Amino acid sequence: MGLVHLDCPACGGALSLSEGERIVACLYCRGRSLVDVPGAVPRHVVQPTVDGAAAERMARASLRRADVEQTARGARFESVGLCYVPFYEATAFRLGTVFVRDRVKPPAPLGEGEEGGPELDRWLQDPGKEREDTRVVEQDVLRIGAACELPELGVQRIRLADQRRGGTTVLLQPFDPVSIHKRAVVFAPTTPAERFLRETTWRVQSQNDATRYVETRLKLLYYPVWQIRYRYRGRPFGLAVDGVTGELLRGTAPQAQALAAGAAAAGAGLSALGLGRWLRGVLGWRAEGPTVLFLVVAGAALLWLAWHWYAQAGEVELVSG
């Protein structure tokens, strides 16, 4: 849905409605009209508050971790680009009645001493009286979820639902397909809108539940993410920074080989020391059992840790704490 051209119902003048807008004012008679396009999903863009320079600073800071190769901290970034990830936002209002059946009983006796004991026992054995009631349900429903899977951008760590519920102010702009594709990479949704809306309003059918969902609406929100790419010794690496909060969503970096080598050396040394003490005990020399066991276990743990680092092909995954 790009730019929709309509005629004013009052004077017949031409109206221009940008995507995501539902109320338009006529330039001729100043009349205001509510526009509803059947079957269309309004699209909006979440305004980024973090620019490219701030995203680079965050990426540089994430490379200063101890488990990142020291010479890679000054790697030159090949590209710093803005991406927009689609999210569905479904809203509805659950309205109706629910038939409930529960049991009620008087408050528990709080007397002390021998007199309170029998009364408390009788209260515990009393099942109470059954009560039936019809409750009116008026519930606002809000569900936000990613419209596509992009694990390389850390989409699962984006807290858009918390931001829309009031934790952080999120500014929305109308979706302009021409301008947004010029300045950023826009990912298309892969999850059908009908399925997301159906999952939002799904509930277990029950004879006691006479509620229904009204005023069901669906929006498509495009969330900004800064994607940074760089190379180290010919190998590609990437970082993704949240365009609203500035947090690191996900990243990869070359692993510090010195840590893996040091862990392997320490593990081999501790294991050799423990095995040496064990051999001395076998040959008749005195050996302390708990000390031998501790040395062997500690050495094996360090060897496993070093092997795990090497098995990752020298790559470490970075996320915000």
Q: What is the pLDDT of residue 111?
A: 59
Q: What is the pLDDT of residue 258?
A: 55
Q: Where are the alpha helices (DSSP H) in the chain?
A: 52-62, 116-125, 160-162, 177-183, 193-200, 257-282, 289-311
Residue with tokens 């001493």: 113
Q: What DSSP character marks residue 165? A: I
Q: What is the pLDDT of residue 236?
A: 92
Q: What is the pLDDT of residue 247?
A: 94
Q: What is the pLDDT of residue 110?
A: 67
Residue with tokens 């003048």: 13
Q: What is the pLDDT of residue 2?
A: 47
Tell me, rounded to whole angstroms, the distance of Cα 308 from its chain centroid: 27
User: Distance between CA 219 and CA 170 in Å, rounded?
Assistant: 15
Q: 19 to each of 41, 43, 164, 176, 178, how far by Cα in Å?
A: 10, 7, 20, 7, 12
User: Distance between CA 275 and CA 277 in Å, rounded?
Assistant: 5
User: Distance between CA 223 and CA 48 in Å, rounded?
Assistant: 8
Sign of CA dihedral 54, 58, 63, 66: positive
User: Distance between CA 49 and CA 224 in Å, rounded?
Assistant: 9
Sign of CA dihedral 53, 57, 58, 62: positive
User: Distance between CA 151 and CA 239 in Å, rounded?
Assistant: 12
Q: What is the pLDDT of residue 4?
A: 55
Asked if residues 50 and 59 have their Cβ atoms less than 8 Å apart, the reply is no
Q: What is the pLDDT of residue 284?
A: 47
Q: What is the pLDDT of residue 307?
A: 55
pLDDT block averages, 10 residues each, the chain of length 321 = 64 70 76 70 91 95 86 88 96 87 75 63 77 84 92 92 76 87 94 91 80 89 96 90 94 74 52 51 49 59 57 69 60
User: Whose CA is closest to 218, among 29, 20, 6, 67?
Assistant: 20
Q: Where are the alpha helices (DSSP H) in 214-288?
A: 257-282
